[in-house]
Structure 1
């Protein structure tokens, strides 16, 4: 068996060996390489996902700090506060307290409805304090103003405000935390002189607890200040090694906006950190590496097991399918060898087969039957073509006799100086010569116009010039190809049907123009119209001895020549009292080979 696999001689073993060398082995190698790449991608995605979460943590906290800053700016820009807090104010203290508290409550309700409570404090230079909360102890407005003034003086006007973490001065029923995140600023009048101070505080621990409570429950979150002091941690035992804290600090000193990540091999943990320059806080997330790569390792194990199982199933299926394919193929090969010897009188039994093999054998049997049918039809059509050709040769005898007779009459008319008979013979001869040429289907437009004018010449001689023909066309379309005998039947229909009951004759207009890639032919007459002609013929019980060519004949020839790219429409214009036949064909131009040639193709 091993020898046969190494040197396969039959189709079955060749198929198996080819699948093994070209499919199974390369597929397995590609899967292993792909698994490694997928593992790296999944791990990177896990890290990126945690980075995005830290970025969202930082942005949410910055948004909250931004709300507090904007509130500070709005208070500074509120003219009513200066009106009540100014040393020159004439308002009663009760009125000032009522209006200032109303402004503070309105500001808090507008900006901080969806956040933890924010506490607003405003003091004037006289030591009066106004606030929107219940304090743990009385607020010393003079001390608050002096602390803010001194702190800003120490900053040497680097910024009009400053952030700090202070001891909580709010009632425990409102803010249970012991610390508050606070932003302080002076209130300046139009001359940049301070007339008061403002302090905005928030229970940041409560906000951080709410945010981390909705984040990753298996991760630990820490917040450190610029000195490395712990401001908040989501888990009691959550700590960061001093070495990592120092490295984060150095990283943020060079790139404060960068989101950094470090791995602790000792703790088998991943640390991600983001820095907030405005608060000088470092936000840190600690997550176990086992947790980070848990999903990746599970996918890897599942994929490897699936690869092994699929490989074994693929090998078994290859052997089974190759056996089912080669057996009927051998029968098909034998029957195809016998088909030529037995003149296609062979079939293959289809019992016991299903699916594609059954379709293949059924198609083979149908093909043999169809080939026999086609051979029979070809023989019948060949006999029919010979018969039709014979009939055409026979039918050409009569027109040739008529043409020779017509030439004789034309000679006699010329001899007797009978110009009318001579002109009729010339026009009729032109039509007969064209009808004898059965090899041409398309002729130049100029030649077709000549046939039409020859026919009209005969009719006008017959009916004493009762009909007037007007032709309008672009001379550049002289060699445009049109189906032979297209215009003459339309003119004939107009005379026979449109002017049948007319004593005074009629007007026929032929307008030929190019429209884009189409040739548009319009044949118009002012006759009675198709409906009136049919009614008149029915009343008179008129039956012609020879059936006319008619519109149906022209439509059929257009369909055979252009395969749906040409059209013929018949309309009746009631307003203009005329019948319009429109023919549209592809615009084909056949230039003559030399000057003076007729342009026949």
Structure 2
């Protein structure tokens, strides 16, 4: 997975910078703009829905007014004594007089200021086979048409006072009403003793009301009256359509709300009428709703894409301008390898950090050239030194051969002193010629020191004594070869050589008292000391001499700060101490092998 993601990451720096510009700046900016635009659309949609619901609430109140007119008309008819007398006692007058009186009552109701509504129609009937209407019927009516109506039959059976019928078939003459159905209130008429003396049907031409109310509404919006069963009872225009999905959404619950019909690109607002179990529905096309926003949207996205393209171009140019000096420097570095670092970058073309980087690059090239020249000079110098060392090995080898000749002459002449001197000097010369070994065991260093002391005792006629003291555990410690010899030579020449009664040299070797990880080698004499040596004519040269400086330098090269040569002041004589790490290296055949399971090996 990580490898696949790595393949998607650009390798060149300029493309990485460009990708960072796009992902960190452009992409979040685009997402934020789209989110803000959707928020604006939602806010506008909510605002339009609120306004639409205000219109639906006005329709709702207007329809409630129509329903209240029907109830008021019923109350006026029920309280009118003449109407009650005609329905209770139809035989008091003849049929024509009853019809004429009832027609007069209907006209008065229609002309009433409180009840004026030309689209309200009345029908009254008694229980003796008489009925009265305030309209011209669409077809010939009979008493049975009313008496056998399901609503009146149901009221008789249940004792209900009234019923609303929302889909009552229109019975009014087409010259008066062209609506297919009417909204009818079926009610029983009762006297003061709550006895039924007649029946009333008060119908409202709600389609006419609906059209008249919507004449002032915007023509680009569609209004519907939908029943709870999903039937469209009325619509503002014959060509207006409401999708089945929208009807299902509207009639799902008896609540008010709105819904966005994505398929038909419309905003559907609906308001529930609990008294009739109806829904007033308003449908607004989104093209109308967001007409101005769509125009702004096009302008916005055109501007956005232009700015985005400009931003991408500028980002790429910035990335290119930023990485171009680095690419140029990379090419120059490749040329520097091919041309032995003899490359310089022009500094006049750059500014700021790039200029500092260019100067640093040029300085680095100069330093590297100087370093290479110095290394080459040191290499030539090493070759010269190596040549001189090879040349210098001729004389020591000649001396060894001479010593061997002298040794055989001493053996033939049976002069043991000459033989021992030749053997001791041969050991010293052979060790000094072995340039491959810098560290030897302490016991070997002691043997070399004893060989040097033997030669010096012969020279000074055994006028001094030497005492060695060391612990057995340090005899295989590694020490620089010929490190004790310069100290012993210094003690003999400048310490005890001038003593009349001879002198004594103490050579002590062991672990340091302050640090058991350090090895200490001490050479002490009971001679005249450093101050006495200066008084005896040694003022022209320093006490330490070349040999001590040689020892110090070798300690520094081998052990860095862990090795040192120090002069320790004492009451009489001179004491020099060598300090170095305790490096134990026993020979393999002398190492102890632990037995396994009690067995010896």
TM-score (norm 1): 0.46
Q: Looking at both structures, which has the greater relative contact order when contacts are Cα pairs under 8 Å and sequence separation is at least 6? A: 1
